[in-house]
């Protein structure tokens, strides 16, 4: 009995020490941002929410803090110490879960960064996107393109890009066209992630479940050509059917034969002559390359992607468009020649 009673206080001290250490770790991780991940979180503080109680509720809801009471107490002591004097600001803020309480308070009591709206229309290339972002002061064109080439991204759909592919831009076709709100002077990596979020939400579920003999990369590539050839007109589905019909009949039609692929190579190499190589020229030339070309030539719309996945039944293998964008389809080369003559004389 005596020995047991002597061990009891020791065990209690050990347990108490463990509990205290555990509490210190929990409090420390919350206060200083340890072990909470590195995810970015965007929050909006409205006028009626510009107080510590409302802000703490918002931060906890978004997983930025764990304890509202601790945050409110910290803010009170932080202000008493004179380390922050500003009022809570209103607007949109970009935070990170790794931020400690002090950094969060400083960020939310400082005037938020200006936001800008950027609309990327279907058919825009990654180079065109980079130019728009620079014009809107989101990030420089060079920084954006550099992030595309060197950035490390963990998205399921990117694993579908063949490792052997060395296109002009590694992410061409995967920067989904949409209307976005960015911060001025934003990190290019975060900008790209926003494009990926849109792709993942709006087209990836469809592509993941698609039953098609084509790979995801081939679907995006063909859809990008369809986008450039048909635009937003009425011929999207018909153009997609022509290319799919050709792929289904490789003996008679081994190549896609799209002028849009030639224009893409010429435009890119005119701006970046150092990217021009004979290998790339042939790989992007749909009059030379058999089957699907090297990779996408722009960011296709959801409509173009779905048109490739579900083309209408058709026996057409040719098309030509006039100056107004009207597209004439043909089943035979003789019929196609007649359409070309009609368009040329019109």
Give the Cα separation of 89 and 51 in Å (integer). Answer: 9
pLDDT digits (tens, 9 = 90+) for 149-165: 888 888 999 888 887 76
On whether both 103 and 121 belong to a single domain, the answer is no
Greater model confidence, 31 or 88: 88
Give the Cα separation of 236 and 115 in Å (integer). Answer: 34
On whether both 123 and 200 belong to a single domain, the answer is yes
On whether both 300 and 239 belong to a single domain, the answer is yes
Could you say which of 87, 108, 129 is where a domain stops? 108
On whether both 217 and 197 belong to a single domain, the answer is no
3 domain-assigned: no
**Can you give the C-alpha Rg of the chain in angstroms?**
28
Report the phi/psi class of residue 287: left, alpha or beta, with left for phi > 0 and alpha for psi in -120 to 50.
alpha
Could you say which of 108, 142, 157 is where a domain stops? 108
CA distances from 341 to 20, 57, 64, 175, 336 (A): 86, 69, 65, 38, 9
Listed range (21-30, 57-66, 167-176, 180-189) with the worst mean pLDDT? 21-30
On whether both 119 and 99 belong to a single domain, the answer is no
On whether both 262 and 313 belong to a single domain, the answer is yes
Burial (CB < 10 A; 0-12, 13-18, 19+), residue 116, is middle
Q: 58 phi and psi, to 5 degrees?
A: -65, -40
On whether both 131 and 175 belong to a single domain, the answer is yes
Specify the residue for token string 């004179």: 82
9 domain-assigned: no
Query: Do residues 329 and 318 touch, judged by C-beta distance below 8 A?
Result: yes
Query: How many domains does the chain contain in total?
Result: 3
pLDDT digits (tens, 9 = 90+) for 216-240: 999 999 999 999 999 877 899 999 9
7 domain-assigned: no
What average pLDDT score do residues 229-254 get? 93
5 domain-assigned: no
4 domain-assigned: no
Say whether pLDDT at 22 is over 50. no
Give just the sign of the alpha carbon dihedral 288, 289, 295, 300.
Answer: positive
On whether both 227 and 321 belong to a single domain, the answer is yes
pLDDT digits (tens, 9 = 90+) for 31-57: 766 666 667 788 889 989 889 999 999
On whether both 104 and 145 belong to a single domain, the answer is no
8 domain-assigned: no
Burial (CB < 10 A; 0-12, 13-18, 19+), residue 248, is exposed
Could you say which of 108, 123, 152 is where a domain stops? 108
306 domain-assigned: yes
pTM: 0.76
On whether both 284 and 245 belong to a single domain, the answer is yes
The residues, any chain, with a CB within 8 Å of residue 290's CB and separated by 6 or more, are 250, 254, 255
The residues, any chain, with a CB within 8 Å of residue 346's CB and separated by 6 or more, are 322, 323
Write down how long the chain is.
346
On whether both 127 and 218 belong to a single domain, the answer is no
1 domain-assigned: no
On whether both 45 and 73 belong to a single domain, the answer is yes
Query: Do residues 93 and 107 touch, judged by C-beta distance below 8 A?
Result: yes
pLDDT given for residue 1 in this prediction: 47
**Distance, CA of 57 to chain centre:** 29
Q: Residue 146 sits in a domain of what CATH number?
A: 3.30.1490
Full residue range of the structural domain in which residue 96 is found: 14-108
């Amino acid at each position: 009995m005596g020995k047991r009673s002597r061990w009891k206080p020791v065990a209690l001290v050990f347990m108490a020490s463990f509990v205290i250490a555990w509490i210190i770790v929990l409090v420390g991780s919350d206060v200083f941002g340890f072990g909470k991940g590195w995810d970015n979180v965007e929050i909006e503080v409205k006028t009626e929410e510009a107080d510590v109680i409302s802000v703490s509720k918002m931060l906890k809801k978004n997983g930025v803090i764990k304890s509202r009471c601790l945050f409110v107490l910290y803010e009170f002591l932080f202000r008493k110490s004179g380390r922050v004097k500003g009022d809570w600001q209103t607007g949109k803020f970009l935070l990170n879960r790794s931020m400690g309480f002090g950094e969060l308070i400083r960020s939310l009591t400082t005037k938020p960064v200006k936001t800008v709206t950027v609309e990327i229309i279907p058919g825009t290339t990654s180079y065109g996107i980079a130019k728009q972002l620079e014009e809107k002061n989101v990030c420089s064109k060079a920084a954006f393109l550099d992030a595309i080439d060197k950035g490390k991204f963990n998205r399921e759909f990117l694993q579908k890009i063949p490792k052997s592919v060395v296109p002009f831009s590694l992410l061409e076709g995967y920067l989904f066209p949409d209307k976005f709100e960015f911060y001025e002077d934003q990190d290019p990596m975060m900008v790209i992630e926003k494009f990926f979020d849109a792709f993942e939400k709006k087209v990836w579920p469809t592509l993941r479940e698609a039953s098609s003999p084509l790979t995801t990369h081939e679907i995006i590539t063909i859809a990008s050509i369809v986008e450039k050839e048909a635009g937003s007109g009425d011929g999207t589905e018909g153009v997609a059917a022509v290319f799919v019909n050709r792929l289904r009949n490789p003996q008679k039609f081994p190549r896609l034969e799209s002028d849009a692929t030639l224009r893409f190579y010429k435009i890119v190499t005119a701006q970046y002559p150092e990217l021009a190589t004979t290998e790339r020229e042939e790989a992007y030339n749909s009059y030379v390359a058999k089957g699907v070309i090297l990779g996408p030539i722009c960011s296709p719309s959801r409509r173009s992607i779905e048109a490739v996945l579900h083309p209408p039944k058709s026996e057409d293998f040719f098309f030509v468009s006039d100056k107004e964008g009207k597209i004439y389809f043909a089943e035979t080369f003789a019929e196609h020649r007649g359409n070309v003559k009609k368009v040329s004389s019109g």
